[in-house]
Amino acid sequence: MEAFRDQYGIPHARAASVEAAFRAQGHLAVLDRGLQMEYVRRKALGTWAEVVGSRALSDDTFSRRVGLAAAARRSYEVLADETKAVFVAYAEGVNAALPGSLAGCDLPEAPATWEPWHSVAVYLGRHVGMGSMAHKLFRTALLPVVPADVVWRVRANARDELVVVPTGAVHRVDVEGPPEDHGEKVREWLNGLAEVQTVAASADPAAGSNNWVVSGAHTVSGRPLLAGDPHRPFETPGPYWQNHVSCDAFDAIGLSFPGVPGFPHFGHNAQVAWGITHGMADDQDLFVENLDRVSTRTEVIRVRDAEPVEITVYTSERGGVVVQDDAANTGLALRWTGTAEADRTLDCLLPMLTTTSVAELDEVMRGWAVPVDHLMMADVHGAIGYRLRGRVPTRDVANSWAAVPGWDAEYAWTGWVPFDRMPAARDPEEGLLVSANNRPSADTTPYVAHDFAGPARATRILQLLREGVAAGGADGDGGTPGGTLDRAAMERIHGDVASLTAREFVASLEHVKAAEGSRRSQLLEILRGWDGTMGLGSIAATVYTEARRELLSLVPLPDAANSHAQLLSPQQRTGTLWLSFQSLLAGARAGDVTMFGTWSDAVGQALDQTAERLEQEIGPDLEDWTWGRLHQCRFTALLPGVPAVAGRPVPGDNETVRAAGLHGIETTAASSGSVARYAFDLGDWENSGWVVPEQTDEWYAARLVPMHYDWEVIERIGTPIALGAAADLEEAAR
């Protein structure tokens, strides 16, 4: 066993056996991310408040009520023996380094031994907040008090949706939402639920992801390129760790979750590359439960520098109750594919690393359940492919809108959407595949979900790819090969900050009137001459964002204090509303006056209010109203003693390819976006590149650093890593 660090500190490990390779991966993960591993383990087990105090109480309560620890144990027990051997070896590597790595950290006690099932808990904890729960909480809160058609319009989906397959197809999908009387049913089922204790940690609605794959017909090398960037909240440390692990069975490199072996989402071996975006599938349901008809237990959460907190955990046959109101004897239980039954997703991790073709990797995905992802694939033989991987339950259509009664068998899960009916594609004629959390296909059967990201990012990526193909002389239909796309072209797409939503807004200004020489007239002139690029020096980007904020304040949704809207976290309410703008804008342009009234009047008033706000907050000089002044990254520090990545001005917004998402109703700070970027060149693995926020200068410049894969290069430029106890474990295993 040996390991090296390249010039960016990225570890590369080489061992003889599979077990030794994962032992090395676990050991190196601790050396680089030991405190983060303690954090994600404790967060999944519901014990992080023991380290940081009461600020972690809500998260710990949620993890315990969902039952992540018990679910992880169940899932670990059903894994195949060869998978368990991987997790055991990984845990051995972790334990060889964990005590020493955390010796100087501010922990209340020495870290517990890392058990193999802890990695399953970490994996579940990483994904429980990414399901459809947040969307259903939103509608459960609002349907009883807001007309169903209004609630249904406040979604990120656009009126015309770009689908993943077939490439470039645009469809009107999901035109109809809940029936008008559905809110009355929800109100009756909730049984007066109002003064609730809400601990459900909603996913960040401003997050997303991009990925795309290009066939060799359009590339310089003649082999595919696969690229993308996962989007999550900006946190320090980031969720992904760059590493490279090799043995006699495989040679794999990619982005891992510290605490989980393998490369479940982004990586490549010697012959196949893969990358994902969040599939946005409906894999979680909320069930209304009568609390006196479910099992009950109490648990005690130890809180640093405070008294222990005793919580009541209610569990029904549907799942753990995550929202409860004891006075109303009512709660909402979460049923999720990751906890509903023992899950064998992680049996896929090792076979992924030994696949030799897209077809083989696709077949491995039959065993994948959590999460549901848009998986892009490519191989050195020239194949490219797409698969919506993961399990989606079959159930009544009412489950898809909001919470449903747990006591009624009509709403029970009845099975799973068959693997062969999930959207997929192989070697499309155009040679391009793109996903950006948009709808997988126009087919509404089988039901996958209602809620997807709008098409702005996916449409822009496809535009840029087609422009690159056209520049190389291709006909765009798979005819003459272009042969001009390379890693540099992928980097340019990563860094693109043109907003198609902003362009639609500019196009809507035709009938907005203003008195000559007025401030409104000045702003209209700035916007009408703008190309929608959200650059740091753009004044128009600031005006557009502030006007968008003012317009969304007109949307008739109740304040959080109203009735069942207490179910809704402020972040979820404002984030969902912010991302609904592209859909609401399309409706307004089509003549819909429900949300904004007469559009030209609403925009004119919004521009007046924008001018007033910016003059008060910045000053009267328009030259000072630059987007970079308002839009700066805000990283959250997760760990005690680990400072956050420094914030800097950043271009883009939620709908640009270079995502720098904001909850614009609350703040213009960038709180989520690309937490990694990568480009895999299957014509020359050594020409691949990647970056994470910890490589701060390169990340802010949207520039990739080398992804070294050739062991001759690694040995020449690398610095040896002393594996110490991990090497001793390997010797003992022999």
* Cα angle for residues 510, 515, 519 (degrees, 5° grid): 90
CA distances from 195 to 80, 190, 373, 564, 571 (A): 45, 12, 36, 9, 19
598-624 mean pLDDT: 97
Question: pLDDT tens across 550-586, in order?
Answer: 999 998 887 655 555 567 777 777 888 999 999 999 9
Interatomic CA distance for residues 438 and 161, integer angstroms? 8
Helices (H), 115-223: 116-127, 133-142, 148-153, 182-190
What pLDDT does residue 625 have? 98
Q: H or E element: which one contains 262?
A: none
Residue carrying the six token digits 């023996």? 81
Residue carrying the six token digits 């368990």? 84
What pLDDT does residue 731 have? 61
User: 173 falls in which pLDDT band (50, 70, 90)?
Assistant: confident
Residue 474 has pLDDT above 60, yes or no: no
3-state secondary structure of 670: strand
Do residues 680 and 273 make contact, with C-beta atoms less than 8 angstroms apart?
A: yes
Interatomic CA distance for residues 13 and 26, integer angstroms? 11
Q: H or E element: which one contains 619?
A: none
Residue 459 has pLDDT above 90, yes or no: yes
Which of 280-294, 448-462, 489-503, 552-566 has the lowest average pLDDT? 552-566
* Cα angle for residues 222, 675, 651 (degrees, 5° grid): 90
Question: pLDDT tens across 46-97, in order?
Answer: 999 999 999 999 999 999 999 999 999 999 999 999 999 999 999 999 999 9
Residue carrying the six token digits 């308002």? 630
| Phi-psi sector, 326: left (phi>0), alpha (psi -120 to 50), beta | alpha
3-state secondary structure of 188: helix
What pLDDT does residue 472 have? 78
Question: pLDDT tens across 401-422, in order?
Answer: 999 999 999 999 999 999 999 9
14-25 mean pLDDT: 98
| Phi-psi sector, 533: left (phi>0), alpha (psi -120 to 50), beta | beta
Q: DSSP for 5-65? A: E-TT--EEEE-SSHHHHHHHHHHHHHHHHHHHHHHHHHHHHT-THHHH-GGGHHHHHHHHH
Question: pLDDT tens across 658-689, in order?
Answer: 999 998 888 999 999 999 999 999 999 999 99
pTM of the model: 0.96
Interatomic CA distance for residues 92 and 24, integer angstroms? 9
Do residues 264 and 12 make contact, with C-beta atoms less than 8 angstroms apart?
A: no
Beta bridge mates, 330: 290, 325
209 is catalytic: yes
CA distances from 476 to 383, 467, 604 (A): 18, 9, 41
Interatomic CA distance for residues 546 and 499, integer angstroms? 15
Do residues 601 and 595 make contact, with C-beta atoms less than 8 angstroms apart?
A: no
**In the chain, count of helices (H) and strands (E)?**
23, 31
Q: State which amino acid sits at residue 28.
A: L
Do residues 148 and 180 make contact, with C-beta atoms less than 8 angstroms apart?
A: yes
User: 196 falls in which pLDDT band (50, 70, 90)?
Assistant: low
Do residues 130 and 278 make contact, with C-beta atoms less than 8 angstroms apart?
A: yes
What pLDDT does residue 374 have? 98
**What rounded mean pLDDT belongs to the chain?**
93
Helix axes 68-77, 57-66, angle to 10 degrees: 40
Interatomic CA distance for residues 409 and 389, integer angstroms? 28
Q: Which of the two residues, 257 and 471, has the higher pLDDT score?
A: 257
What pLDDT does residue 479 have? 43
Maximum alpha-carbon separation in the chain:
85
Q: DSSP for 600-639? A: HHHHHHHHHHHHHHHHHHT-S-GGG--HHHH-BB-PEE-S
Which of 104-113, 280-289, 571-580, 625-634 has the lowest average pLDDT? 571-580
Do residues 512 and 524 make contact, with C-beta atoms less than 8 angstroms apart?
A: yes
What pLDDT does residue 561 have? 52
Of 63, 119, 202, 209, catalytic: 209
Token pair for 364: 């491995």
Residue carrying the six token digits 């892009």? 376
Q: State which amino acid sits at residue 139.
A: R
Interatomic CA distance for residues 594 and 722, integer angstroms? 66
Token pair for 681: 């060149």
Q: H or E element: which one contains 241?
A: strand 241-246
3-state secondary structure of 47: coil
Question: pLDDT tens across 324-376, in order?
Answer: 888 889 999 999 999 999 999 999 999 999 999 999 999 999 999 999 999 99
Q: What is the DSSP letter of 710?
A: -
What pLDDT does residue 475 have? 45
Q: Which of the two residues, 175 and 458, has the higher pLDDT score?
A: 458
What pLDDT does residue 195 have? 55
Interatomic CA distance for residues 25 and 729, integer angstroms? 13
Do residues 508 and 548 make contact, with C-beta atoms less than 8 angstroms apart?
A: no
Closest residue by Cα to residue 246 from 265, 273, 272, 270:
270
What is the per-residue burial (b if ≥16 Cβ within 10 Å, else e) of 486-495?
Answer: bbebbbebbb
Do residues 145 and 402 make contact, with C-beta atoms less than 8 angstroms apart?
A: no
Q: Which of the two residues, 473 and 667, has the higher pLDDT score?
A: 667
Question: pLDDT tens across 120-168, in order?
Answer: 999 999 999 999 999 999 999 899 989 999 999 998 888 899 999 999 9
Q: How many CB atoms lie within 10 A of CB 717?
A: 13
Residue 477 has pLDDT above 50, yes or no: no
Do residues 151 and 577 make contact, with C-beta atoms less than 8 angstroms apart?
A: no
Interatomic CA distance for residues 357 and 714, integer angstroms? 26
Interatomic CA distance for residues 87 and 72, integer angstroms? 13
Do residues 241 and 257 make contact, with C-beta atoms less than 8 angstroms apart?
A: yes
What is the per-residue burial (b if ≥16 Cβ within 10 Å, else e) of 78-95?
Answer: ebeeebbbbbbbbbbbbb
Question: pLDDT tens across 419-439, in order?
Answer: 999 999 999 999 999 999 999
CA distances from 155 to 150, 486, 722 (A): 10, 36, 52
Do residues 513 and 604 make contact, with C-beta atoms less than 8 angstroms apart?
A: yes
Total residues belonging to the chain = 734
614-639 mean pLDDT: 97
User: 258 falls in which pLDDT band (50, 70, 90)?
Assistant: very high
Domains along the chain?
Answer: 1-499+555-595+631-734 (3.60.20.10)
Helices (H), 413-552: 456-471, 487-494, 500-507, 519-528, 539-552
For the CA atoms of 614, 619, 623, 627, what is the dihedral angle to 10 degrees? Answer: -40
User: 476 falls in which pLDDT band (50, 70, 90)?
Assistant: very low
Which of 103-107, 532-536, 576-580: highest mean pLDDT?
532-536
Token pair for 516: 């000559």
Residue carrying the six token digits 């995905």? 365
User: Is the alpha carbon torsion for 514, 515, 517, 518 positive or negative?
Assistant: negative
Beta bridge mates, 405: 288
Do residues 121 and 45 make contact, with C-beta atoms less than 8 angstroms apart?
A: yes
